[in-house]
């Protein structure tokens, strides 16, 4: 069976994602579609709107056949590490192809860019380090360093967020010497961070979440009916969606209660950020106010959010900077009948152990799984009782979703 891989967050699943799946299927003509999806916390260092099980069901109803979780250690990281973790999982699942959305839409641009950077990597890294030392953020340094290499029109624009991720997917395929063939689909209408509806049927996840939290704007035309139904069900089941403000009291306590020496051990807390965090936490009444207080030219909002997330989950540098560069297991969240047939066919050739029942794998010393379970428990604490109790041990109670179409 020919397997197509996708790397996703689906926060929430919307018409743009549906377009991507359908366009990818038309391009690759696969027998099965496999999605590697971030868990309850996402790459930008924020909680997912709804938990991973609801988002898994959205994906299955949207045309995906297998959903596998990207572990916390990779899902909450910079683009390079995020991409390496996700591509490693697709590779371990014996995917033939990977199709990603991009602002560019031309795979040759990505391949040309990868070749050019690889040929000039030493100089490229020197440019990046020089810009970082000048006090600007890593994404901006990357953009300036790339421009210093004098790219041609045949190169991809590395100032765009999905282009950056796409480039790192190509880089990860090379690094892993994977046989996966990459394709890209041009993103339609909405930009990644658009906060307003800019089209009749396609909107960014950011603008959809903003409409949901503000109760302003009708999202019906931007999401499949299955997504709308599941969002309504989530509110019925848990009374609210997840956002950073839900976790602000917990974060504030963690920052103010921890000694500076403890905060310095937390992943992504560097160069005196612990002092800045403590001073801002005392004066801030909300997460938004706190973030606006600590934002600097050197540190992007995303980088600071990730540091806050790691403080919240007490994730230390030693937890993230292990010698194992890639995931060590495949956590199955859901599948269609077609997906189950694929896994049965491939089970002897999968390159990593497949986990469908956490209790059978828990306790064997796997640090990545322990991080995932800890993060899921923390995610539940963003809800009030009795709803948080319903989520606290869901990883142990919930089997993979099986969708019968």
What span, in angstroms and rounded, lies between the C-alpha atoms of 38 and 263? Answer: 25
Q: Is 14 annotated among the ligand-binding residues?
A: yes
Q: Is 101 annotated among the ligand-binding residues?
A: yes
What span, in angstroms and rounded, lies between the C-alpha atoms of 263 and 266? Answer: 5
Q: Is 13 annotated among the ligand-binding residues?
A: yes
Q: Is 270 annotated among the ligand-binding residues?
A: no
Alpha-carbon Rg for the chain, nearest whole angstrom, is: 21
Q: Is 162 annotated among the ligand-binding residues?
A: yes
Report the run of H or E that residue 361 belongs to, with start and end: none
Q: Is 144 annotated among the ligand-binding residues?
A: no
Q: Is 85 annotated among the ligand-binding residues?
A: no
**CA distance between the termini of the chain:** 19
Q: Which are the contacts of 73, defined by CB distance < 8 A and separation ≥ 6? A: 85, 319, 320, 322, 327, 368, 371
> Would you list the DSSP string of 289-342?
HHHHHH--SSS-HHHHHHHHHHHHTT-BHHHHS-S--S-S-EEEEEEEHHHHHH
Residue 151: how many CB atoms within 10 A of its CB?
17
Contact 114, 171 (CB under 8 A): yes
Q: Is 277 annotated among the ligand-binding residues?
A: no
Q: Which are the contacts of 209, defined by CB distance < 8 A and separation ≥ 6? A: 11, 12, 49, 241, 243
Q: Is 18 annotated among the ligand-binding residues?
A: yes
Structure tokens, 371 = 């991080």
User: CA angle, corner 194, sides to 7 and 284, nearest 5?
Assistant: 100
Residue 31 is classified by DSSP as S
Q: Is 15 annotated among the ligand-binding residues?
A: yes
> Would you list the DSSP string of 240-280?
S---HHHHHHHHHHHHHHS-HHHHTTBTT--TTHHHHHHHH
Q: Is 9 annotated among the ligand-binding residues?
A: yes
Residue 191 is classified by DSSP as -
Contact 43, 75 (CB under 8 A): yes
Q: Is 11 annotated among the ligand-binding residues?
A: yes
Phi, psi (deg, nearest 5) at residue 315: -90, 115
Q: Is 324 annotated among the ligand-binding residues?
A: no
Enumerate the known binding-site residues. 7-20, 101, 162, 187
Enumerate the known binding-site residues for ATP. 7-20, 101, 162, 187
């Amino acid at each position: 069976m020919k397997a197509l891989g996708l790397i996703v967050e689906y926060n929430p699943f919307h018409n743009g994602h549906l377009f991507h799946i359908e366009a990818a299927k038309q391009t690759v003509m696969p027998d099965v579609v496999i999605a590697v999806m971030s868990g309850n916390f996402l790459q930008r260092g924020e909680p997912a709107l709804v938990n991973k099980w609801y988002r898994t069901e959205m994906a299955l109803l949207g045309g995906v056949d297998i959903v596998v979780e990207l572990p916390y250690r990779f899902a909450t990281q910079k683009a390079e590490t995020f991409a390496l973790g996700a591509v490693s999982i697709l590779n371990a699942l014996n995917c033939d192809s990977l199709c990603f959305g991009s602002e560019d839409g031309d795979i040759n641009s990505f391949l040309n860019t990868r070749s050019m950077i690889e040929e000039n990597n030493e100089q490229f890294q020197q440019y990046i380090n020089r810009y970082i030392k000048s006090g600007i953020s890593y994404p901006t340094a990357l953009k300036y360093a790339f421009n210093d290499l004098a790219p041609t029109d045949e190169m991809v624009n590395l100032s765009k967020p999905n282009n950056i991720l796409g480039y790192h997917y190509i880089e990860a395929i090379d690094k892993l010497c994977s046989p996966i063939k990459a394709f890209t689909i041009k993103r339609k209408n909405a930009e990644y961070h658009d906060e307003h509806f800019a089209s009749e049927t396609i909107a960014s996840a950011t603008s959809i979440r903003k409409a949901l939290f503000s109760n302003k704007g009708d999202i019906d035309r931007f999401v499949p009916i299955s997504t709308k139904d599941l969002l309504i069900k989530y509110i019925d089941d848990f009374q609210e969606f997840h956002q950073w403000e839900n976790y602000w009291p917990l974060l504030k306590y963690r920052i103010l209660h921890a000694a500076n020496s403890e905060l310095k051990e937390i992943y992504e807390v560097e160069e005196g950020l612990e002092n800045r965090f403590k001073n801002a936490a005392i004066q801030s009444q909300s997460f938004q106010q706190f973030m606006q207080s600590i934002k600097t030219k050197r540190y992007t909002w995303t980088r600071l959010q990730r540091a806050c997330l790691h403080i919240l989950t007490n994730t230390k540098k030693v937890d993230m900077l292990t010698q194992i560069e890639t995931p060590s297991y495949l956590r199955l969240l859901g599948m269609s009948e077609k997906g189950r047939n694929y896994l049965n066919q491939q089970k002897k050739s999968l390159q990593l152990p497949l986990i469908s029942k956490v209790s059978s794998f828990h306790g064997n010393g796997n640090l990545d799984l322990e991080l995932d379970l800890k993060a899921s428990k923390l995610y539940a604490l963003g809800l009030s009782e009795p709803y948080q109790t319903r989520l606290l041990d869901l990883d142990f109670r919930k089997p993979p979703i099986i969708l019968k179409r």
